[in-house]
Structure 1
Amino acid sequence: MIWSAECRRTLRSVRVLALLALYSLFSMLVLLVVGGITRALREQLDLQIAQAGANAAAADQVTAEFRKGFLGFLVGGDQAVMEALAQVPLVVVVVFKATLFFLPLYVAIMGFDQVSGEVGPRSIRYLTVRARRLSLLLGRFLSQATVLLGLVLIIDAGIFVYAWLTTPDFTFGSFSFNLLKFWLAAVVFSLSYLALTTLCSSLFRAPALSLIVNIFVLFGFWLVNLIGGFASKDSPVAYVRYLSPSHYANGLLHPGLAEFAVSGLAYVFFTLLFLGGAIVILRERDL
């Protein structure tokens, strides 16, 4: 009941339109920038190849090598992932990686007051008379998750439609399969950060303070992942990257079942950890 009521209330609010507009503008900006850079690089490569007197086969080979190198940079050089994304336009992968960087902050803005907005003015006391605290928290979390799933699907579909219209060899079968794959990866990724937002919202009475702490935690995760990524593999510092949820993002696109399962279970663990902490806090705190 709480889930359905919160979904209706959220969909009727102006915030969901503002969030959709924010997400759309960011994705469109990245899409246009990446598309422009890709076209410019392709034209420059074609010009250099034409000046060198190479044939069309050589031009295609150079373009393929450039795409392979750039794709390897995006996915960390994993050959299996690179082969699985061989039929996906490069612009889709770049925009997807950019939106994954933005999604945690987007989720924080969307749900920072899902609990603290009621705890601060103490209006939550009237709700807990008729519903358990656990039901209230899970209902709020599920309603935010439902809205988030819809928003991500709309944006991903728009990106794939653009790539489909501008890439002749991007078939409908590859379009449909990869749209579902990328959407599920974004959903699994974002649910863990939504649980983190729920935890931060349960910690404080002031929604603004919940948002600030949430942003600081996100920056801490990003910094941990960055430090671990730049450290040498033999250094103990490299292992700190496993503490950041973002470290497991590439595995969500991996074609291997074992690698995908490891990343999926990692995000399930983070989701349950953050959500469990929020449940414990809400149960124990004075409302």
Structure 2
Amino acid sequence: MRTSARFAHILDGLKETLVIWNAELRRAVRSGRALVLLGLYSMFSALVLLVVGWLAREIRAEVGKQLATAGADANASAQVGEEMRKGMLGFLTSNDSAMIEALAQVPLEVLVVFKITLFFLPAYVALMGFDQLSGEVGPRSMRYLTVRARRSSVLLGKFLSQATLLLGLVLIIDLAIFVYARIANPDFGFADVVLNLIKFWLAAIVFSLAYVSLTTLCSSLFRSPAVSLVFNFILLFIFWLMDTIGRASGETGSLRFLRYLSPSYYSGNLLHPKLAEFGASGAAYAGFATVFLLGAYAVLRARDL
């Protein structure tokens, strides 16, 4: 009887979560913010892609001119271009031979855009969901939800709605980037496009879910959405600073441990072909997401709504 009652309690919680997730997702999709955020993300990604593509073409053209002036043949030019590509790919992957081999067919423009957008993605996540809880805690409309559903169900439902919306937006942008890469690079085959699209999209989602959880935590701490947003940006800056100082300390510095406390430190292996390396990074982000969500639940449970 006790086990049956506990199962029924869990099932009711799941139903409440799904209802809130569905309602919040519908409201988010219908709102103008979703279109604004999609436009903002797409314009930023397009700008980065065009600038990176232009720089790559200019560098290739300049190198080609210098080689032609020196009397080098086409094979020598192609070899130099390939060496430059390998050098750039090694820089972006920290000279990991397995990653270099796995990403050999991916145009460098795609990888550079991915790295840059991954850096700014936490700020985008904060803009997307900073008021998911504080927007209702402030005017006290949250109490009408918690009368009908558990606070944990409200929290998870809102978190999942933001995560689902982000999942769709990132997929749209990644799809557009890979379509552009396919058109600009005819040797980038269809099978490689599909495989790497899934890989890059999954990496971005694993990375961003921890920051969605962080935004949920920040939104639960304050009644004012504006204060939640500012505090979220402060935490993002602190995490970035910890990662930067920890990396700068090297392997023997006294502050090297700081990098392990920052989510961004674990992003390097999200595209790794080895399951163990990717799994370690994924587990780290799952751990951060769990900690942030538990913190948000503790705050929401203790708060007077």
Structure 1 length-normalised TM: 0.98
State the Cα RMSD in Å: 0.8
Residues 1:275 and 2:293 aligned together = yes
Distance 1:236 1:93 in 2: 33
Q: Which residue of the partner structure matches residue 39 of structure 2?
A: 21
Distance 1:195 1:98 in 2: 21
2:270 aligns to what SS in structure 1? helix
Q: Which residue of the partner structure matches residue 169 of structure 1?
A: 187
Which of the numbers 105, 108, 113 marks the counterpart of 1:90? 108
The percent identity for this pair of structures is 63
Distance 2:79 2:291 in 1: 47
The Cα of 1:60 is off from its aligned counterpart by 1.3
Distance 2:58 2:48 in 1: 15
Which of the numbers 212, 231, 238 marks the counterpart of 1:220? 238
The Cα of 1:258 is off from its aligned counterpart by 1.0
Q: Which amino acid aligns with 1:169?
A: D
Deviating runs (4+, > 6 A) in structure 1? none
Q: Deviation per CA, 1:204-229, whole angstroms, max 9, x where unpaired?
A: 11100000000000011111111112
Q: Which residue of the partner structure matches residue 70 of structure 1?
A: 88
Which of the numbers 96, 120, 137 marks the counterpart of 2:155? 137
Moved more, 226-235 or 88-97: 226-235
The Cα of 1:236 is off from its aligned counterpart by 2.8
Q: Which amino acid aligns with 1:221?
A: F
Residues 1:105 and 2:120 aligned together = no
Higher Rg of the two aligned structures? 2
Q: Which residue of the partner structure matches residue 144 of structure 2?
A: 126
Residues 1:247 and 2:269 aligned together = no
Distance 1:90 1:120 in 2: 46
Q: Which residue of the partner structure matches residue 4 of structure 2?
A: none
Q: Which residue of the partner structure matches residue 41 of structure 1?
A: 59
Distance 1:61 1:82 in 2: 17
Moved more, 120-129 or 231-240: 231-240
Distance 1:83 1:21 in 2: 34
Q: Deviation per CA, 1:208-264, whole angstroms, max 9, x where unpaired?
A: 000000000001111111111222222232221111111111211001111111101
Q: Which amino acid aligns with 1:62?
A: V
Q: Deviation per CA, 1:104-129, whole angstroms, max 9, x where unpaired?
A: 00000000000000000111111111
Residues 1:179 and 2:190 aligned together = no
Q: Which residue of the partner structure matches residue 12 of structure 2?
A: none
1:249 aligns to what SS in structure 2? helix
Which of the numbers 27, 30, 34 marks the counterpart of 1:9? 27
Q: Which amino acid aligns with 1:56?
A: A
Q: Which residue of the partner structure matches residue 198 of structure 1?
A: 216
Distance 2:240 2:78 in 1: 37
Distance 1:114 1:245 in 2: 22
2:255 aligns to what SS in structure 1? helix
Distance 2:280 2:299 in 1: 29
Distance 1:58 1:39 in 2: 18
Moved more, 177-186 or 226-235: 226-235
Aligned pair count? 287
Moved more, 91-100 or 225-234: 225-234
Q: Which amino acid aligns with 2:190?
A: F
